[in-house]
Structure 1
Amino acid sequence: MAEAPGGLQIIERRADADRIGEWATAAVTPCLYFDPAVAVDRYQRWRSAFPDADAYYAVKANPEPRLIRRLVRAGASFDVASPAEIALCLAEGADPSTLSYGNTVKKAADIRYAYRSGVRLFVFDSQDELLKLAEHAPGSAVFCRLLASSAGAQWPLNGKFGCTSDMAVDLLTQAPRLGLRPVGVSFHVGSQQLDPGRWEPSVAAAARVFGALGAAGIELSMLNVGGGFPVEYTSPVPPIERYAEAITAAVERHFDTCPRLAAEPGRYVAAAAGVLRAEVVLVSRKAFDDDTRWVYLDVGRFGGLAETEGEAIRYQLVTPHDGGPDGAVVLAGPTCDSVDILYQRTAYRLPLALRPGDTVDILAAGAYTATYASVGFNGFPPLPTVCIGDDE
Structure 2
Amino acid sequence: MSTDRIRRFLAQAPPTPFLVVDPAVVTARVREFANELPGSRLFYAVKANPEPAVLRAVLAAGGGFDVASPGEITACLAEGARPESLSYGNPIKKAADVAFAFSHGVREFTTDAESDLRQLARLAPGSAVSVRILVDGPASATPFGHKFGCVPAEAVSLLRLAADLGLVPGLAFHVGSQQPDPSAWDTGIATAAKVAAEAGIRLRRLNIGGGFGIRYRELVPSLAEYAAAVRASLAAHFPTPPQLALEPGRAVVAEAGLIRAEVVLVAWRGGRRWVYLDVGRYNGLAETENEAIPYRLDAGDGERGPVVLAGPTCDGDDVLYQHTPCELPLALQPGDRVDILDAGAYTASYSSVAFNGIEPLRTYCLD
Query: TM-score by structure 2 length?
Result: 0.97
User: Is the 1:65–1:92 Cα contact (8 Å) retained in structure 2?
Assistant: yes
- Once the two structures are TM-superposed, the CA of residue 46 in structure 1 deviates from its matched residue by 1.8
Contact 1:273-1:366 at 8 Å conserved across structures = yes
Letter in 1 for 2:267: S
Aligned to 2:242: 259
Deviation at 1:236, TM superposition (A): 1.4
Structure-2 separation of matches of 1:166 and 1:202: 14
CA-based RMSD: 1.5
CA displacement at 1:20 relative to structure 2: 5.1
Q: Percent identity?
A: 54
Offset from partner CA, 1:167-203 (integer Å, 9 cap, x none):
0110111113223221x10100011100111111111
Is 1:204 aligned to residue 177 of structure 2?
A: no
Contact 2:127 2:168 (8 Å CA) reproduced: yes
The answer on whether the counterparts of 1:20 and 1:272 sit within 8 Å (CA) in structure 2 is: no
Among 3, 6, 24, which residue is 1:11 paired with?
Answer: 3
Are the aligned partners of 1:20 and 1:273 in contact in 2 as well (CA < 8 Å)?
no
Deviations 1:193-252 (A, max 9, x none): 0011111111110001111222xxx33201111100111111111111000111111111
Kept in 2, the 8 Å contact 1:213–1:220? The answer is no
Matched, 1:194 2:180: yes
- 1:279-290 paired onto structure 2 within 5 Å: 279-287=262-270, 290=271
Q: How far does residue 151 in structure 1 lie from its aligned partner after superposition? A: 1.7
Matched residues in 1 for 2:20 and 2:168: separation? 42
Match status 1:95 vs 2:76: no
In structure 2, how many angstroms separate the alpha carbons of the residues matched to 1:37 and 1:21? 15
- 3-state secondary structure, aligned to 1:191: coil
Residue 172 of structure 1 corresponds to 159
Cα distance 1:332–1:10, how it changes in 2: closer, same or farther (>3 A)? farther
Q: 1:178 to 1:10 in 2, by over 3 A?
A: closer
Of 66, 72, 75, the residue aligned with 1:85 is 72
d(CA) in 2 for partners of 1:263, 1:22 = 34
Which of these residues, 288, 296, 305, is aligned with residue 285 of structure 2? 305
Instruction: Provide the TM-score with structure 1 as the length reference.
Output: 0.91
Q: What is the Cα deviation at residue 11 of structure 1?
A: 3.5
Partner Cα separation in structure 2 for residue 133 and residue 282 of structure 1:
53
Equivalence for 1:6: none
Q: Determine if contact 2:2/2:22 at 8 Å carries over to the other structure.
A: no
Q: Between 52-61 and 19-28, report the one with greater CA deviation.
A: 19-28
Mind listing any 5+ residue stretches in structure 1 that lack a counterpart?
1-8, 13-18
Distance 2:9 2:140 in 1: 31
Structure 2 unaligned blocks of 5 or more: none
* SS in structure 1 at match of 2:42: strand
The aligned runs of 1:208-287 (5 Å cut-off) are: 208-214=194-200, 218-287=201-270
Matched residues, number: 366
Give the match's secondary structure for 1:87. Answer: helix
Match of 2:108 in 1: 121
Q: What SS is found at the alignment partner of 2:32?
A: helix
Per-residue deviation, 1:49: 1.2
